[in-house]
Structure 1
Amino acid sequence: MIELAQHIEVLLLENDCVIVPGLGGFVAHYTPAMRVAEENVFLPPTRIIGFNPQLKMNDGLLVQSYMAVYDTDFSDATRIVEKEVAHIFTALHEEGKVDLPNIGELRYSIHGIYDFVPYDHKITTPYLYGLDSFEM
């Protein structure tokens, strides 16, 4: 699962959506810079990660990442991704949650609903890197 999370994290650097076939899509939402008037603070723009369980169709992006890392063909890379997704489902059903390092936590409720909680540190975005909040 850690390896899958690493692929998702790297792909989200340059893509707004990474679909994990059979699981769902991780979507980066842009949040513009904003001013908190009460505190006289300006916050930089960020990207926050969300999860859409309806996006399950394999668009090939994640599989191509595995192809490049493992120097293998599409069908072998697809099998590797499918095994990792199977591990995620097993962990979700046994433990109720799965940690995706640097991305967030995927949870499974007794009602069969998947819930994603992104980590607070946001995701690194090359064109937003280094921007910080400041006071005036």
Structure 2
Amino acid sequence: MRLETYISDLLYRYDCVTVPGFGAFLTQRVSAKVHESTNAFYPPKKVLSFNEQIQKNDGLLASYIADVEKIPFEVAVIKIEKRVQSLKSLLTEGETLSFHNIGDLSFNNEGKIVFEPSYHLNYLTDAFGLNQLVSPAITREVYKEEAEKIEKVIPISVTPEKRKTRPYLKYAAIALLALTVGGFAASNYYVNQINTHNQLAQEEANTQLESKIQEATFVIENPLPAVTLKVNKQVGNYHIIAGAFRLEENCDKKVQQLKEQGFDARKIGVNKYGLHQVVYSSHFDRLEALKTLREVKRTHNKAAWLLVKDIN
């Protein structure tokens, strides 16, 4: 059984894939980056890590293998146990385990598992199709402007280069200035007349408005009742699955039964098999969800498992 293939498939959809009795592969999203010296652009991605302390079976990996290979859940658990025993034996013998598109695992001098992630595959589905690229450096030309005084009548700034190569610009500027001064004087007269007219009209309009406001009386005899909006709070993306039912009425009965037993149970919709799913509870924090899952499996339902899904 190529266990790494199933782990790789699940890393696209989940932040934690636990191999029971061995450890957990974790992913963390990092933003896009630009390398300052090489001008290389790196798209956002998921960074892989390995935690040897997380070994409890959350049912995710076994459920996926059972679904793909069309075998019972218990058989999938046994196959995982045999594969884990083989992996531990290889590590004890000093070999390095290479998981394709995931990374390499080996023992250090202290007998702890060291994980070196692979960078050949990006497990962030939002970045699908985005590749690394290198952009050439952008050079910017900085021009220094030098101010030069010429005739007092025509204060025009002309750089020495422009005086030498384009002398006609000086005379064009003189003609433009003369036309501008004449047109500016004429336009100022009309603008002043328009502003005066507008000011008088505005004062008259303000007087009429104040008069209307003083005459108006607003009385609200029957104020509208207050409106109360019920907003559903987001309860997290980590859901402890209690069961799935073909009939929705059985799903409702299960929710009511779990609520009577003290669980914060609810329905989370229909899965891809058309079954109505019921959860014991949902959590924001993954570690809190795993802790609750262990407690549920110990005291209430050994078949409970953890679903990581964003439910709107």
Q: Same fold (TM over 0.5)?
A: yes
Question: SS where residue 121 of structure 1 aligns?
Answer: coil
What percent of counterpart residues are identical?
33
Q: Deviations over 1:48-69 (max 9, x none)?
A: 2110111111111100011112
Take 1:105 and 1:39, find their aligned partners in 2: how far apart are those partners? 28
Partner of 1:64: 63
* Alpha carbons 1:103, 1:123 under 8 Å: kept: no
Take 1:133 and 1:71, find their aligned partners in 2: how far apart are those partners? 39
Quote the offset at 1:75 in angstroms.
1.4
Compare CA radii of gyration and give the structure with the larger one: 2
C-alpha spacing 1:34/1:123, structure 2 compared with 1 (3 Å) = closer
- Structure having the larger proportion of residues in strand: 1
Partner of 1:125: 124
* Alpha carbons 2:66, 2:76 under 8 Å: kept: yes
Take 2:38 and 2:107, find their aligned partners in 1: how far apart are those partners? 37
* Alpha carbons 1:30, 1:48 under 8 Å: kept: yes
Please say which of residues 80-89 and 124-133 is displaced more in the overlay. 124-133
* Alpha carbons 1:46, 1:122 under 8 Å: kept: no
Amino acid at match of 2:78: R
Q: What are the residue-to-residue correspondences of 1:71-90 with 2, within 5 Å?
A: 71-90=70-89
Partner of 1:33: 32
TM-score of the superposed pair, with normalisation by structure 1 = 0.90
Amino acid at match of 1:17: C
Take 2:28 and 2:39, find their aligned partners in 1: how far apart are those partners? 25
Quote the offset at 1:40 in angstroms.
3.0
Q: Please list every run of 5 or more consecutive structure 1 residues that lacks an aligned counterpart in the other structure.
A: none
Quote the offset at 1:34 in angstroms.
1.4
Amino acid at match of 2:27: A
Please say which of residues 122-131 and 10-19 is displaced more in the overlay. 122-131
C-alpha spacing 1:70/1:132, structure 2 compared with 1 (3 Å) = closer
Take 2:36 and 2:101, find their aligned partners in 1: how far apart are those partners? 30
Q: Deviations over 1:18-56 (max 9, x none)?
A: 000011100012111112223333221111211011111
Partner of 1:45: 44
State the number of aligned residues: 135
TM-score of the superposed pair, with normalisation by structure 2 = 0.41
Please say which of residues 104-113 and 123-132 is displaced more in the overlay. 123-132
Question: SS where residue 8 of structure 1 aligns?
Answer: helix
Quote the offset at 1:102 in angstroms.
1.3
Take 2:117 and 2:44, find their aligned partners in 1: how far apart are those partners? 16
Q: Please list every run of 5 or more consecutive structure 2 residues that lacks an aligned counterpart in the other structure.
A: 137-312
Higher relative contact order (CA 8 A, sep 6+): 1
Quote the offset at 1:121 in angstroms.
1.6
